[in-house]
Amino acid sequence: MKEELKNLCGSVYFDEPLSRLTTIRVGGPADALVYPKTIDELATLAQFANKNHLPLFVLGAGSNLLVKDKGIRGIVVNLSQGFNKVGVENEKDGDVILYVEAGVGIPRLVDFTAEEGLTGLEPISGIPGNLGGALVMNAGTPDGDISNAVMSATFLEKDGKIMTWDKERIKFSYRESHFPKGAIILSAHLQLTRLASELVKGRVQKYRAQRVETQPLNVPNLGSVFKNPIPKSSKGSEKKLFAGKLIEEAGLKDIRVGGARISPKHGNFIVNEGGAKAKDVLVLIGLIKDKVREKYGISLETEVRIVGDE
């Protein structure tokens, strides 16, 4: 199967450490790491995995992802080498349709829109990751999610069939989307609006500066570990809850396990201070869940995706 896999795609690596591909620099090896460059290669790869009953996992830019210490079995796919086109496809009366492929990084996408004078993506300025991962988890901030700009998304089903769904069918929700199980995002169409480039650049710089000031972006980190809890009551007067504040008020800020640490800068971030293992991070995640539940009766839900073998 290794020989057959190498014939399917030019860039295939076996027993490849995934720590270098995650933002927290943690993670064991992938049995096979593959970089398909075309939709045909990707479709053939999906069919190969399906035929041989091999797990297939799509790894984006490695943000909001914790790979366990024994790594990921089967095939890990990365789209960064072939699916990186972005451009204006259509424009009418100031409304602009942007075509973006799944491997395009969010920082690059936001910079492109700022240069072009397109507004709508400023709230996600400074978010790491690529478009594919951002769509799957509906990446965003309290000021807005990427779903606000989505018109449609095209994806590959596990049997190799290509589908396009509009925004309503995807059914975005808070840090979630509802693509079919096993779907691989290929591209999306985003709807943005013309605005003076300097105004868009100013907004982008403002959002990025806020993130630098409040988050530990200068060290390897996991991104936001937990989703902000949604109050059970739907009354308008209900106070909004923030995971980071709950963690800090529970006295957990700055706690260390091995090389992992709950950031002293932001309670909802876990950082790697050097030599951290996934097991260290998992201990901190479990500790946070237990303490917040004990103090507030709130069960925090992880925003970060945890994959792989112990």
The four Cα atoms 50, 54, 56, 62 give a dihedral, to 10 degrees, of -170
List Cβ<8 Å contacts ≥24 apart for 35-38. 35/9, 35/10, 35/11, 35/77, 35/78, 35/79, 35/80, 35/81, 35/82, 36/9, 36/11, 36/77, 36/79, 36/81, 36/82, 37/9, 37/10, 37/11, 37/81, 37/82, 38/82
Residue 29 structure tokens: 């090896």
Q: Is 301 a residue of the active site? A: no
Cross-strand bridge partners of residue 98:
88, 190
Residue 132 structure tokens: 């594919």
Q: Kind of pairing, strands 260-262 and 65-67?
A: unpaired
DSSP state of 18: S
Q: Is 211 a residue of the active site? A: no
The CA-to-CA distance between both ends of the chain, in Å, stands at 25
Among the listed residues 175, 194, 208, 211, the single catalytic one is 175
Lookup result for tokens 């075509």: 99
Among the listed residues 16, 101, 122, 303, the single catalytic one is 303
Q: Is 157 a residue of the active site? A: no
Among the listed residues 19, 147, 187, 224, the single catalytic one is 224
Please identify every residue annotated as catalytic: 175, 224, 303
